[in-house]
Structure 1
Amino acid sequence: MTAPPADIRRLWFLDTLVLIRVSHLDGADGISVLEHRARQGDSPPLHIHRTEDEIFHVLEGRLRFRIAETERHAGAGEILLAPRRIPHTYRVESSEARFLTITGGRDFERMIRGLGRPATADALPMPAGPPTPEQARALEEACGRHDILLVGPPLG
């Protein structure tokens, strides 16, 4: 799979819509700000970023986070930090959620670009559902190429 060009800023990533608001290529510090829109139940596998802290800022909806061994709910306006090398994940608890992820490197954005595909609309991709075995393998490979380690299942 070929990554979308750097000028593509609207991607479908699995069952989510990701808008690249600030690319790591835009400034000198490598900061990346991605806006995510996801359906209820969306939950990535428990994972570790080896090179980047990840900041979550909830814009709309409600999410449940697991960071290390701690679970916490967060709603609009709340911000959480998932430090690098610490296992974390989330689950969308409301019907939909919008949130930002902010990282200080390029790995997370590159992984999203590497697995995402250009979105043809400002809508969530269809059909929705758990990843196919092929999608799960592609996710694991993309994460591995970008210093992200999958270490457990999504939140149930």
Structure 2
Amino acid sequence: MMDQGSGDRALVRRAGEGTHNQTFDLQRTFLVRSDESKGAFSHWIENVPAGAGPPMHVHHREQEMFRVLAGQFRFWCTGEVQDLTDGDTVLIPKGAPHTFKNIGPGEGQLLITLTPGEGDGFFLEVERLGLTPSRDMPQIVEIAGRYGVEFLGPPPA
């Protein structure tokens, strides 16, 4: 049984537990949603197929931290490029244009933390509405704006 972390009780998530989400062809499992941390942060695992990654974007409200659990990733942040692999961590400052791409031969896995955490609501809302970028990008952009996220264009080549 999962404890919701109310009051002074611990929130415990066992392996495989959490809120499962699939948006933009990426599977993620929210280990701690922002509504469970009083908005302080959200924390999830994201499975990223080879060659996949989000468009260049900015979080106007949050810092975003990535830890590579498995695989090889290229991160772009404010014009700088870093290649990261198993165990590496990168912290993206609030307001910094950034993206990443799985440059390894197979699926990779990231542990991601947003602080403060309300940005997880973007993924949950897009999934709930069944939106996909190929047909619903204007609505996705509008939802992103409500969460302080701005898309700037495709990832660098």
Unaligned residue ranges in structure 2 (runs of 5+): 1-17
Query: Which residue, 68, 72, 83 being the options, matches 1:73?
Result: 83
Contact 1:43 1:155 in 2 (8 A): no
SS state at 1:154 partner: coil
1:74, distance to aligned residue in structure 2 (A): 0.5
Unaligned residue ranges in structure 1 (runs of 5+): 1-7, 118-129
Query: Which residue, 81, 85, 94 being the options, matches 1:84?
Result: 94
Q: Distance in 2 between matches of 1:92 and 1:82?
A: 17
State which structure, 1 or 2, has the greater radius of gyration over its C-alpha atoms. 2
Aligned to 1:21: 31
One-letter identity of the residue aligned with 1:101: I
Contact 2:39 2:117 in 1 (8 A): no
Q: Kindly, what percent of the aligned residue pairs are identical?
A: 24
Contact 1:115 1:138 in 2 (8 A): no
CA RMSD in angstroms comes to 2.0
Q: Larger relative contact order (C-alpha < 8 A, sep ≥ 6)?
A: 1
Q: Distance in 1 between matches of 2:140 and 2:111?
A: 20
Residue-pair matches, total: 137
1:106, distance to aligned residue in structure 2 (A): 3.0
Does the alignment pair 1:44 with 2:54?
yes
Contact 2:42 2:118 in 1 (8 A): no
Query: Which residue, 122, 127, 147 being the options, matches 1:116?
Result: 127
Q: Distance in 2 between matches of 1:64 and 1:136?
A: 25
Contact 2:39 2:118 in 1 (8 A): no
Contact 1:91 1:155 in 2 (8 A): no
Contact 2:133 2:140 in 1 (8 A): no
Does the alignment pair 1:61 with 2:71?
yes
Does the alignment pair 1:99 with 2:110?
yes
Contact 1:13 1:116 in 2 (8 A): yes
Q: Distance in 2 between matches of 1:107 and 1:88?
A: 19
Q: What's the TM-score once normalised by structure 2's chain length? A: 0.80
